[in-house]
Amino acid sequence: MTHRGDRSRNTKTKIHPDIVLRLVENPLRRRILQKLALEARYTLDLSKELGVSQQAICKHLRLLEEAGLVSSRIQKSSCGPPRLYYAPTRHYSISIAFGPSMFEASVEEYRNNEVRAVMKDFEKMLSEIPSLSEKMEALERIVEETEKELDMLRARLRELYLRKGLAERWARSLGKV
């Protein structure tokens, strides 16, 4: 018997922003997440590449999995026994600004339709390019262009955070007059 709860399996529970930040704060966990973003990986493989004991990798993967940021599945291997592969499950964007006269912190999970729209768009673009070499060129161009725009956006973000903070601080001090 299935009960109604099963229908909402895709509705993920929200992870508390403090927990997301705590998990991402650790430098080794960030390196693991960086590797997993490129492809699913298994413990021994990560341990060799990052030069860290399997035990440490295991511990961090378990913490990430318990929180719901990564998931694991057994996959057959062409040579050797089946292995447990880990992959990230959720998209997050974190933005924090602080200093004299400003403080902002946002931990945003991507909405499913947001991810789908970008992926669909991306795959459509790629499928329309006939040759492999042209695909590779297009991908390089995208990385270059997005990097440039990201730099610009982050600079504008810095400015806005400061402007907003100054306005709040002045409003507070003038309100006391």
Which one of 43-51, 55-63, 72-80, 140-148 is the stretch in contact with a copy of itself (CB under 8 A)? 140-148
Phi, psi of 94 (to 5 degrees): -115, 135
Tell me if 116 contacts a copy of itself by CB under 8 A.
Answer: no
Shortest distance (Å) from residue 155 CB to a copy of itself: 8
Q: Are 37 and 88 in contact (CB under 8 A)?
A: yes
Q: Are 92 and 108 in contact (CB under 8 A)?
A: yes
Which one of 43-51, 55-63, 76-84, 112-120 is the stretch in contact with a copy of itself (CB under 8 A)? 112-120
Nearest CB to a copy of itself, comparing residues 8 and 173: 173
Q: Are 115 and 90 in contact (CB under 8 A)?
A: no
What is the rounded CA–CA span in Å between residue 91 and residue 114? 10
Of positions 99, 113, 124, 127, contacts a copy of itself by CB under 8 A: 99
Tell me if 46 contacts a copy of itself by CB under 8 A.
Answer: no
Decide: helix, strand or coil at residue 86: strand
Tell me if 85 contacts a copy of itself by CB under 8 A.
Answer: no
